[in-house]
């Protein structure tokens, strides 16, 4: 039992192994083998056939296939399958041909006539369709015209008519005397059936009739006699018996007969023109038959064109034209190719065809027409694109091309493979590059079994959804089973089963953007991963809808334009495929291509006929649809040329030149371009002898503008006129012009004789030469050659016309001996010369005496580039009125540079305005007078220096470098502007972290004098700054330089010196009392320091006030008055324009105010300047310090800083006039944020007084070095001041965060160590909304730090020390922008002194200032009174 169980188990294992091996083998076979393409094509296709009623008709068709099942052939008639099951008259033969046993055709029943097409099908494979063939049934013979009795003169031509149905012409022939007539070069049957008898002889007489046979019962015309009569010699009018049709259309390879038979006497000659060339017979392919008809066999495309039959005799010329069009049946330049593909791919079947007219192409799949849709598209004119393949797309696709000359077809097979079957290694040429990308990675090799495929990608989401595209992202599969994963995204529109695929561009990429989607449409997306083992699992379908868009109409499709007449074009178009709502109107734009100006017209329908256009002119048209949302997308321009017409004007400039006794040369110019109305194909010259009415004519090519008319009679008058010819006909002719031939021909076989006489008449500067022609008038004279020169006649040569008899030789020297020669010439050469000599007359006018030079030359400078030069002329009357033709020449130059050229100008007045000068440049001027040939010497010089103007170029070579060992300090270097336009008095450096910021948001650093370097300190580490520089002269500011970028270092490893006021970055938050960032001891230390410093400040202020009140001597008062004047707290006497802003910084030592240039700006507006920095190298400029020992000691305790001026252009743009200087402590400087000036602060407009301490903004500080207003860091209440006295412009934007009320201790103490100057806290009206602002409900204090998320350059408003009891309003310190000093003791004590406000004899202790907000108060004259009353 155990053995049986073991054997059973072993057998089961073997079977399992065999099954698995078989499955693997089958899978491997399946992966390596692709279904081969099936050969399937037509060996025979039906051809156009002419059938006879009652007779059988056969349409051949046969298909070849390698399939086991033979192809089944069916027939279509007029696009519908024929039902032949019970049809006894029509049946399909075994080879597939269609046999119609008996053709039925009557007037009202034509069941067999039509278009036929055979369709071959193989089950489970597909179908193909043949070309189409036309079956025509010959009608009943009917004669529309029959031969009539006629006579013909010997040697002349005659035509016997026999017009039958066009399709019966091949069945028509002629009989003479009841015998078949043998055609020849003399006897020609025309395409209409008529017979032409040319060069008639006696044998041509007889009875003629035409017969129609082999199309049923024979039918003959009436029998008519042709009589031969002798030639009498009388003149007969030249006329056409038959002429070619105006338009003839033939297919390439066939033949054509263009009839042209003429009668008249004298016997005319007939010749043909092709275009503008005479057509000659060539090798039997082109020959004249029937006395003048043109026969061309085996037509080619080059034979197409305009043919003209010209018949002329000695009396007249007549012509007839025919336009031959040669059509070319369609031919394949590129046939569609078989394609392997996978489902969801995109493929393109290519099909290129040629032919004339251009063929139309349609596509057929398995015998059914392909209708263009979202997934089947015709691209690049003829190619078929199939998007998102599905299995049902397999089969045979055919490209059918058709034009008027024929039709052809070519087929290709599409096989869709399973995804685990590899595509061929070389992709079919019909795959586009876009499709190549769509070949799934897993299908490019044999499906492997070495390992598992990846699992489904995870978290497929639409990260970006737009109206016409969606961006998908996902995470890799949980089980990738490989490293190099690629992904395919399959997507389909909701409601359709057709899915498309898009692959990632590189391995590992987990996002893709699907383009060309429809707006407001739902799509399904899924993602599949591929590894080396093949395609993995698909993710779950993700349903996403594209966004709706306010749709304006798309382009109107199928825009077509056809010229109907020479002055009109008919246009039509279809409704746009995309649009949102009803189309309200269309706007048609049209452009005359010769002029280029576009015009438009509104149209309410989808068609329009544009009239009033120019003839034979190219126009371009485009259409724009309008809906309620506005204009839509314009169509592409289409170009159409209006039809040509006969010229509307005659040729121009007709001239006649008699050549000899028998010929006249006719010359002309084309009609005006606007009157040609088409391409000029030829010109017709008509001429007649004397007053005779009979005319002769000659025709030239379209580009030939002359014609030699020869064969004329001697001594006879002829009249000529010329007309232009287009394809539409002959235009108007010129007026008749007359010329007379010579009586006898002149001889031009030898040179002319010597002229019979030569006479000369010398003048001062010229010699008049006259002559008579040679005595022998029988030799042609074409012209005369005059030679002359001093002592030799060969220096100069002049040729004149043969009609001319005199000539004036000009520009000769006076009192000079000239030799003159005269020779007649013709085409053979020059004849014998005749010589003469003459001496020109002497100059009779003596050299003019020089005139007196102008005197009193003055140069009056008017502007930076204009100087007015005035002078007097002593040669004029006393009233200095100019009455003659004299003029003055002014010249000027500058010596800088030394090689400057002299410039001159002429004038007829006693002054001249010289413009275009360089600013600030010294010029020298002098004047000269000219009268006729007399001139004066140059006058004495006058000098003038143009005024200065603002620099017209920016400083050059701006560079920024970091200072060694100080990473937060940079050095800016530059060179002066190349066009300073005056002495440079200073520069302004602008810098910001945002290169695109408004100019008033940049921080400025003024630089005084002509310094070319400057340091900026306390910049933020690891921050990109941008720097610009302006130059200033006495007239204002020049343009800014381009922004220079500099990034500060990332870290600073410099230790903080003991006693430094700059806190370490990591202790900054603790230094200002921020809880949570330090320990409890730091909090206690901060409180102790604040109380100590406050008490110390109060003591110092009280002692200082006591000392100041005791200084009452007059000497001390004068010194204090001088000190107050320099500090700006003095109230100036006099008018308002002398007032200076007062000193409003309570905790400072000295403040200097200097008057600057006036500015017209009335309103000062200050704005935040967010970049912290400290100006350096500032020295006090107040000499009053040296006279006060206390102030001298105080000054020495500060670092030396250089005063920097505000610039006038800056004042013009931003309004800061006064220059302000502020001393600094000798300790390392506090970080400062500069206030950025915006508008002018003219002294006569703005006055800062005590009222400004209680203004709606805050106390103002003047920072020495930047000259900017800055708010006081400590507020002091002053109860008796009225807030309405404030005139500053403030923001009314409410504060973004409420502030806690300050504690009593914080109000009572304001240590000088904490007076970090928060520059930029004054908010002008131009600040942005996100900046801090003041509101009427604000408490009197603001936190000293910016918002924790604020930009590192944001400004701060009224910084003060927040109370520790309100931690919720504290924010982390910014190490790169410290605002307050450490709480540690300073290295030496400060001497604090308040600003003097009011009388000189009093001092005031620091007071807390509340900071309310108030609405803007417009500045009025009342402010001047407020200033006076507050002091």
Give tens-digit pLDDT for 101-121.
888 888 788 888 899 999 999
Instruction: Report the DSSP pairing between strands 1013-1016 and 339-342.
Output: unpaired
Which token pair is 808?
A: 């004036």
E strands within 595-736? 598-603, 607-610, 618-627, 630-631, 638-641, 652-658, 664-669, 682-689, 696-701, 706-709, 717-726, 729-733
C-alpha to C-alpha distance for 1409 and 1274, rounded to whole angstroms: 7
User: Among 442-451, 824-833, 1082-1091, 1182-1191, which range has the highest average pLDDT?
Assistant: 824-833
Q: What share of the chain is helix, strand, coil (3-state, %, to 5)?
A: 10, 35, 50
Q: Are strands 368-369 and 360-365 parallel, antiparallel or unpaired?
A: antiparallel
Q: Give the pLDDT of residue 350.
A: 92
The single residue listed with the structure tokens 């029988």 is: 778
**Token couple for 632:** 């839509």
Looking at residues 430-446, what average pLDDT do you find?
Answer: 37
| Res. 1006 pLDDT band, cuts 50 70 90 | very high
In 10 A of CB 1302, how many CB atoms?
21
From residue 558, how far is each of 637, 890, 966 by CA, in Å? 12, 71, 73
Name the band, by pLDDT with cuts 50, 70 and 90, for residue 939.
very high
Contact 817, 790 (CB under 8 A): yes
Tell me which of 497-506, 537-546, 796-805 is least confident: 497-506
Lowest mean pLDDT among 411-425, 578-592, 644-658, 1218-1232: 1218-1232
pLDDT at 858: 94
724 close to 717: Cβ distance less than 8 angstroms: no
- Looking at residue 233, its pLDDT comes to 73
Mean pLDDT of the chain: 74
Question: What percentage of the chain has pLDDT greater than the value 70?
Answer: 70
Local structure of residue 7 (DSSP, 8 states): H
Tell me, what's the pLDDT at 391? 86
Q: Which residue has the higher pLDDT, 1367 or 320?
A: 320
Q: What angle do CA 1094, 1098, 1102 make, to 5 degrees?
A: 170
pLDDT of residue 1135: 41
Give me the pLDDT at residue 732, please: 92
Say what the pLDDT of residue 450 is: 59
CA-based Rg of the chain, rounded to a whole angstrom?
Answer: 54
Q: What is the mean pLDDT of residues 126-135?
A: 90
DSSP state, 1172? E
* pLDDT at position 88 over 70: yes
Specify the pLDDT at position 746: 77
**Each residue's pLDDT tens digit, 182-224:** 888 788 888 888 888 888 888 888 899 888 877 766 778 888 8
| Residue 441 C-alpha from the chain's centroid | 40
pLDDT at 4: 62
pLDDT given at position 810: 93
What's the confidence (pLDDT) of residue 10?
Answer: 55
User: Is residue 313 left, alpha or beta, with left meaning phi > 0 and alpha meaning psi from -120 to 50?
Assistant: beta
pLDDT at 1145 over 50: no
Q: Is pLDDT larger for residue 15 or for residue 814?
A: 814
The stretch 677-700 carries a mean pLDDT of: 86
Reply yes or no: is the peptide bond before residue 897 cis, omega within 30 of 0.
yes
Which backbone phi and psi does 1068 adopt, to 5 degrees? Answer: -65, -45
Sign of the torsion formed by the C-alpha atoms of 996, 998, 999 and 1005: negative
> Is the pLDDT at 1143 greater than 60, yes or no?
no
pLDDT in tens, 300-353: 988 899 999 998 887 788 889 999 999 999 999 999 999 998 888 889 999 999
- DSSP 3-state of 169: helix
CA 307 to centroid of chain Cα atoms = 46
Question: Can you tell me the mean pLDDT for 9-13?
Answer: 54
pLDDT digits (tens, 9 = 90+) for 228-284: 888 777 778 888 888 888 888 999 988 898 999 898 888 888 888 888 888 887 767
**In Å, what is the CA distance from 353 to each residue of 132, 329, 332, 349, 385?**
17, 10, 4, 13, 17
CA dist 308 and 244 (Å) reads 9
State yes or no: pLDDT of 925 exceeds 90. Answer: yes
Name the token pair of 1341: 């204090």
Give 1329-1364 pLDDT, tens digit per residue: 333 333 334 344 444 344 444 444 433 334 444 444
pLDDT digits (tens, 9 = 90+) for 20-75: 544 444 444 444 567 788 888 898 999 888 888 888 999 999 988 887 778 889 99
Confidence (pLDDT) at 1336: 38
Closest CA to 722 of 627, 775, 664, 653: 653
pLDDT of residue 1186: 45
Gap between the Cα atoms of 814 and 840, Å rounded = 5
247-251 and 317-334 strand pairing: parallel
- What pTM does this model have? 0.40
**Max mean pLDDT range (510-524, 1185-1199, 1312-1326):** 510-524
pLDDT band at residue 532 under the 50/70/90 scheme: confident
Query: Whose CA is closest to 367, among 100, 122, 133?
Result: 122
Q: What is the pLDDT of residues 606-630, one digit of tens each?
A: 899 999 998 899 999 999 988 887 8
Q: How confident is the model at residue 379 (pLDDT cuts 50, 70, 90)?
A: confident
Whether residue 955 contacts residue 1042, with contact meaning beta carbons closer than 8 Å, is answered with no
Q: Residue 584: CB partners within 8 Å, gap ≥ 6?
A: 626, 627, 628
More confident residue, 1221 or 1023: 1023
Token pair for 1202: 């250089």
Q: Are 374 and 387 in contact (CB under 8 A)?
A: yes
């Amino acid at each position: 039992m155990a053995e049986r169980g073991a054997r059973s188990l072993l057998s089961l294992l073997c079977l399992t192994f065999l099954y698995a091996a078989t499955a693997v083998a089958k899978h491997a076979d399946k992966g390596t083998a692709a279904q081969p393409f099936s050969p399937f094509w037509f060996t025979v296709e039906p051809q156009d056939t002419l059938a006879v009623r009652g007779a059988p008709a056969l349409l051949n068709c046969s298909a070849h296939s390698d399939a086991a099942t033979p192809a089944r052939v069916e027939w279509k008639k007029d696009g519908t399958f024929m039902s032949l099951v019970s049809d006894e008259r029509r049946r399909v033969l075994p080879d597939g041909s269609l046999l119609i046993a008996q053709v039925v055709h009557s007037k009202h029943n034509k069941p067999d006539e039509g278009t036929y097409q055979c369709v071959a099908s193989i089950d489970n494979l597909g179908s193909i369709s043949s070309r189409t063939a036309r079956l025509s049934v010959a009608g009943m013979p009917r004669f529309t015209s029959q031969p009539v009795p006629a006579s013909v003169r010997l040697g002349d031509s005659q035509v016997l008519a026999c017009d039958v149905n066009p399709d019966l012409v091949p069945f028509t022939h002629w009989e003479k005397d009841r015998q078949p007539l043998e055609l020849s070069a003399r006897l020609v049957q025309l395409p209409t059936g008529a017979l032409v008898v040319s060069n008639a002889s006696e044998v041509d007489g007889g009875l003629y009739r035409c017969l129609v046979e082999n199309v049923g019962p024979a039918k003959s015309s009436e029998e008519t006699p042709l009589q031969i009569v002798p030639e009498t010699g009388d003149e007969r009018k030249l006329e056409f018996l038959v002429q070619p049709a105006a338009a003839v259309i033939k297919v390439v390879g066939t033949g054509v007969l263009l009839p042209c038979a003429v009668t008249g006497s004298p016997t005319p000659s007939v010749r043909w023109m092709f275009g503008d060339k005479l057509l000659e017979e060539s090798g039997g392919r082109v020959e004249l038959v029937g006395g003048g008809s043109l026969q061309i066999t085996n037509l080619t495309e080059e034979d197409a064109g305009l043919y003209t039959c010209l018949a002329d005799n000695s009396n007249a010329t007549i012509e007839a034209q025919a336009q031959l069009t040669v059509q070319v049946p369609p031919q394949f330049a590129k046939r569609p190719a078989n394609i392997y593909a996978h489902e969801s791919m995109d493929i393109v079947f290519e099909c290129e065809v040629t032919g004339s007219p251009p063929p139309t192409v349609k596509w057929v799949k398995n015998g059914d027409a392909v209708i263009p849709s979202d997934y089947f598209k015709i691209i690049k004119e003829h190619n078929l694109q199939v998007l998102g393949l599905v299995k049902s797309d397999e089969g045979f696709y055919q490209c059918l091309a058709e034009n008027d000359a024929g039709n052809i077809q070519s087929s290709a097979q599409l096989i869709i493979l399973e995804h685990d079957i590899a595509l061929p290694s070389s992709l079919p040429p019909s795959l586009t590059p876009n499709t190549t990308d769509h070949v799934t990675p897993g299908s490019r090799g044999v499906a492997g079994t070495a390992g598992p495929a990846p699992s489904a990608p995870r978290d497929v989401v639409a990260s970006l959804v737009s109206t016409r595209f969606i961006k998908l992202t996902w995470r890799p599969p949980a089980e990738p089973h490989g490293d190099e994963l690629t992904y395919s995204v399959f997507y389909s529109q909701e409601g359709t089963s057709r899915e498309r695929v898009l692959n990632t561009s590189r391995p590992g990429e987990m996002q893709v953007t699907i383009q060309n989607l429809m707006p407001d449409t739902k799509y399904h997306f899924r993602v599949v991963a591929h590894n080396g083992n093949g395609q993995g699992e698909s993710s779950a379908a993700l349903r996403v809808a594209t966004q709706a868009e306010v749709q304006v109409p798309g382009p109107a499709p199928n825009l077509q334009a056809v010229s109907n007449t020479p002055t009109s074009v008919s246009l039509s178009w279809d409704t746009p495929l995309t649009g949102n709502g009803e189309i309200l109107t269309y706007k048609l734009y049209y452009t005359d291509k010769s002029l280029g100006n576009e015009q438009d017209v509104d149209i309410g329908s989808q068609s329009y006929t544009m009239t009033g256009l120019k003839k034979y002119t190219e126009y371009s048209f485009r259409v724009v649809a309008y809906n309620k949302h506005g204009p839509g997308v314009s169509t592409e321009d289409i170009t159409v040329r209006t039809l040509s017409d006969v010229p509307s004007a005659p040729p121009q400039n007709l001239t006649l030149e008699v050549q000899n006794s028998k010929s006249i040369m006719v010359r002309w110019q084309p009609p005006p371009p606007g009157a040609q109305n088409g391409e000029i194909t030829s010109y017709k010259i008509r001429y007649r002898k004397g007053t005779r009415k009979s005319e002769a004519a000659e025709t030239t090519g379209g580009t030939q503008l002359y014609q030699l008319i020869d064969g004329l009679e001697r001594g006879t008058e002829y009249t000529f006129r010329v007309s232009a010819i287009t394809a539409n006909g002959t235009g108007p002719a010129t007026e008749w012009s007359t010329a007379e031939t010579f009586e006898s021909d002149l001889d031009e076989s030898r040179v002319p004789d010597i002229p019979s006489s030569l006479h000369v008449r010398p003048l001062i500067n010229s010699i008049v030469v006259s002559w008579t022609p040679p005595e022998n008038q029988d030799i042609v004279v074409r012209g005369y050659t005059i030679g002359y020169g001093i002592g030799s006649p060969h220096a100069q040569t002049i040729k004149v016309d043969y009609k001319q008899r005199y000539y004036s030789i000009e520009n000769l020297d006076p009192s000079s001996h000239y030799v003159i020669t005269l020779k007649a010439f013709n085409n053979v050469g020059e004849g014998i010369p005749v010589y003469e000599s003459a001496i020109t007359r002497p100059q009779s006018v003596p050299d003019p005496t020089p005139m007196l030079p102008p005197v009193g030359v003055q140069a009056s400078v008017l502007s930076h580039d204009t100087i007015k030069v005035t002078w007097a002329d002593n040669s004029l009357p006393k009233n200095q009125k100019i009455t003659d033709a004299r003029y003055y020449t002014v010249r000027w130059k500058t010596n800088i540079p030394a090689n400057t050229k002299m410039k001159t100008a002429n004038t007829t007045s006693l002054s001249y305005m010289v413009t275009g000068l360089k600013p600030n440049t010294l010029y020298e001027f002098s004047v000269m007078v000219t009268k006729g040939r007399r001139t004066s010497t140059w006058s004495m010089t006058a000098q003038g220096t143009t005024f200065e103007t603002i620099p017209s170029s920016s400083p050059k070579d701006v560079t920024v470098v970091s200072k060694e060992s100080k990473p937060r300090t940079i050095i800016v270097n530059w060179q002066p502007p190349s066009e300073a336009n005056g002495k440079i008095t200073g520069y302004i450096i602008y810098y910001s972290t945002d290169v695109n910021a408004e100019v008033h948001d940049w921080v400025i650093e003024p630089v005084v004098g002509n310094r070319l370097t400057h340091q900026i300190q306390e910049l933020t580490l690891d921050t990109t700054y941008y720097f610009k520089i302006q130059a200033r002269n006495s007239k204002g500011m020049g343009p800014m330089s381009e922004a220079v970028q500099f990034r500060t270092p990332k870290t600073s490893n410099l230790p903080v010196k003991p006693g430094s006021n700059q806190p370490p970055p990591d202790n900054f938050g603790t230094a200002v009392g921020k809880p949570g960032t330090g320990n409890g001891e730091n909090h206690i230390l901060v409180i102790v320091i604040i109380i100590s410093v406050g008490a110390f400040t109060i003591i110092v202020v009280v002692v200082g006030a006591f000392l100041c009140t005791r200084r009452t001597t007059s000497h001390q008062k004068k010194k204090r008055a001088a000190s107050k004047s320099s500090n700006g707290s003095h109230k100036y006497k006099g008018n308002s324009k002398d007032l200076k802003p007062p000193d409003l910084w309570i905790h400072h030592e000295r403040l200097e105010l200097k008057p600057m240039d006036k500015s017209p700006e009335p309103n000062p507006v200050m704005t935040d300047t967010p970049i912290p920095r400290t100006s350096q190298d500032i020295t006090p400029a107040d000499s009053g310090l040296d006279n006060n020992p206390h102030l001298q000691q105080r000054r020495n305790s500060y670092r030396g800083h250089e005063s920097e001026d505000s610039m006038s252009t800056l004042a013009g743009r931003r309004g800061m006039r006064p220059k302000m200087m502020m001393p600094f402590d000798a300790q390392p400087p506090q970080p400062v944020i500069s206030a950025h000036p915006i508008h002018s602060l003219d002294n006569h407009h703005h006055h800062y007084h005590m009222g400004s301490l209680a203004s709606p903004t805050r106390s103002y500080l003047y920072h020495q070095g930047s000259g900017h207003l800055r708010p006081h860091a400590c507020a002091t209440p002053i109860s008796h001041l009225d807030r309405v006295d404030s005139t500053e412009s403030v923001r009314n934007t409410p504060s973004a965060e409420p502030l806690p009320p300050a504690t009593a201790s914080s109000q009572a103490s304001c240590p000088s160590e904490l007076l970090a100057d928060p520059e930029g806290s004054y908010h002008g009206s131009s600040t942005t909304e996100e900046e801090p602002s003041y509101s009427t409900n604000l408490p009197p204090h603001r936190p000293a730090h910016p918002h924790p998320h604020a930009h590192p350059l944001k400004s701060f408003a009224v910084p003060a020390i927040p109370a520790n009891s309100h931690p919720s309003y504290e924010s982390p310190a910014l190490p790169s922008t410290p605002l307050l000093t450490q709480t540690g003791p300073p290295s030496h004590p400060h001497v604090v002194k308040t600003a003097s406000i009011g009388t000189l004899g009093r001092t005031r202790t620091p007071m807390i200032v509340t900071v309310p907000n108030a609405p803007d108060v417009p500045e009025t004259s009342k402010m001047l009174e407020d200033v006076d009353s507050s002091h």
